[in-house]
Amino acid sequence: DAGITQSPRHKVTETGTPVTLRCHQTENHRYMYWYRQDPGHGLRLIHYSYGVKDTDKGEVSDGYSVSRSKTEDFLLTLESATSSQTSVYFCAIARSSQETQYFGPGTRLLVL
Amino acid sequence: QQQVKQSPQSLIVQKGGISIINCAYENTAFDYFPWYQQFPGKGPALLIAIRPDVSEKKEGRFTISFNKSAKQFSLHIMDSQPGDSATYFCAASLSQGGSEKLVFGKGTKLTVNP
């Protein structure tokens, strides 16, 4: 998985609780992305980062925030989890905006 | 205009047959068209990609055909094998301000029967 780890790999939480997912890379790639994958929807971009402390919104950013204080770490936070945020979350990295995105192994999140 | 439409949703092919997955897009500004392969429990992995200045690209048994005028591109898997059974996603990228964003199709679940 191209030097990308995601933690936790599985999480069950309750509605209304905050949740933070972590993406860690050892490739020193500039770009990092968070996607969610749901049946019938494919992969949808939540947020992405193009450098330390540089982030921007994707297609489905409502209810999510991100932070990147170091090149290697990109955090996704659900401030108050809802059942609609039950999904598989993938992190991806890329050396530059014009190069291939490499995906991590995913985090399966269940919000009860 | 940002969408990529992928078909079919699922596909069953016999071993040795040809698998064909189609994608269509509207935004003519898209300039990079990758295909990703995803096995259950794994993240998507780049399979093959094409840029619009090329009409076809082949890598082993996998071929992308690109029709710029029709705004369509397709993945052909020749001599399909049971190990090819996976979900395939087409995607298109749009560079905005130097940041490439991938827009994905909804995926095709391919089953290759032995």
User: How high is the pLDDT of residue A40?
Assistant: 82
What does the pLDDT average to over A72-86?
A: 97
Percent of chain A scoring above 70 in pLDDT = 98
In this complex, is the C-beta atom of A41 within 8 Å of any C-beta atom belonging to chain B? yes
Spans of chain B, pLDDT less than 50: none
Q: How far apart are CA B43 and CA A15, in angstroms?
A: 26
Average pLDDT over residues A104-109: 96
pLDDT at position A2 is 63
Question: What does the pLDDT look like over B31-62, one tens digit per residue?
Answer: 889 999 999 999 999 999 998 889 999 999 99
**Cβ of A105 and B43 within 8 Å?**
yes
| Closest residue in chain A to residue B35, using alpha carbons only | A100
pLDDT above 90 as % of chain B: 78
pLDDT of A82 > 60? The answer is yes
Tokens matching residue A38: 């749901």
- Structure confidence at residue B99 (pLDDT): 55
pLDDT at B95: 65
Note whether A48 contacts B101, CB cutoff 8 Å: yes
- Taking only the tens place, the pLDDT of each residue in A94-103 is 987 777 889 9
Q: What is the mean pLDDT of chain A?
A: 93
Count interface pairs A-B at CB distance under 8 A.
56
| Residues of chain B positioned with their CB less than 8 A from the CB of A59 | 2
Asked if the model's pLDDT at residue A62 lies above 80, the reply is: yes
Hey, which bits of chain B come out as E strands? 4-7, 10-14, 19-25, 33-38, 45-50, 56-59, 62-67, 72-77, 86-96, 99-104, 108-113
pLDDT digits (tens, 9 = 90+) for A20-57: 999 999 999 999 999 999 988 889 999 999 999 999 99
- Minimal CA separation from A16 to chain B, in Å: 27
Beta carbons of A40 and B106 less than 8 Å apart: yes
- In sequence order, the 6+-apart residues with CB closer than 8 A to the CB of A13 are A19, A81, A109, A110, A111, A112
Say how many Å lie between the first and final Cα of chain A, rounded: 29
Question: A97 is written with which tokens?
Answer: 């905006």
B110 shares contact with chain A (CB less than 8 Å): no
